Amino acid sequence: YKEGHLPGAINFYRDDFQDTTLPYHGMRIEKEQMAKRLGEAGITENHTLVVYDNKGSSDASRLWWLLRLYNFDKVYLLDGGLSYWERMGGKSSREVPEMIPASFNFSDQADNMIVIEKEQILNLIISEASKAILLDARSAEEYKGLQHKSGAKKAGRIPKSINIDWAEAIDYGDTYTFKSVEELEKIYGKLGASKEDTIIVYCHSGVRSSHTTFVLTQLLGYKKVLNYDGSWVEWSFDDLLPYESDTLYIKEN
């Protein structure tokens, strides 16, 4: 951000919206805490937010999902983020805008039903009747249990999950924009799901799964997509939960 950002942009990092009271990292903060942090940055519920990053919209999608969870829908992603903005001739700035602290108020509505908890997933795994599809948005190495990523207690995957790496949806290494709807339909057609089926998405700590949730709901029109925000980090810390894993190696970084 300090090296260059869109003119007038303010800066948040994913840690700004992370619950630090848990023994593991990456979990979301509650609505009241989020409202407080948004207000401290000078944002009110009357603003429209355009969110971007420089990582293929993964971190931006996380903030998008959190805001939608808490019933704030005036939030959009800048496709391609900073790198594509500059590539298309957009100017960047190092000037940090002065924001006057304000009050941000979420609506009194109940949270959107776009999240699922580990107990519900366990019930779905056990149930023979469940038709819900469990989608792992991590890399193939993480899915197979071949990479033990920092923050998790162990490597592996949740049983019955299907793996489609979140990055398949992005023109990674070039424009960092979302692929065309036609390409995305082919990628996620591997799920064999109808637009009405329940799809549960997880990753390492809810960031990449938020990205996949955005793709499925906003670009492809799937109606019932639930993000398991705790994801593999939370699941791995509960030794009573089932998991699957192949041969393991430890990745130094």
Question: Catalytic residue numbers?
Answer: 203
Summary count for the chain: helices (H), strands (E): 8, 6
Say if residues 201 and 225 touch (Cβ distance below 8 Å). Answer: yes
Torsion angle, alpha carbons of 69, 70, 73, 75, to 10: -80
Whole-angstrom Cα distance, residue 115 to residue 95? 37
Whole-angstrom Cα distance, residue 199 to residue 215? 12
- Within 13 Å of residue 134, how many CA atoms lie on the same side as its CB? 21
Say if residues 137 and 238 touch (Cβ distance below 8 Å). Answer: no
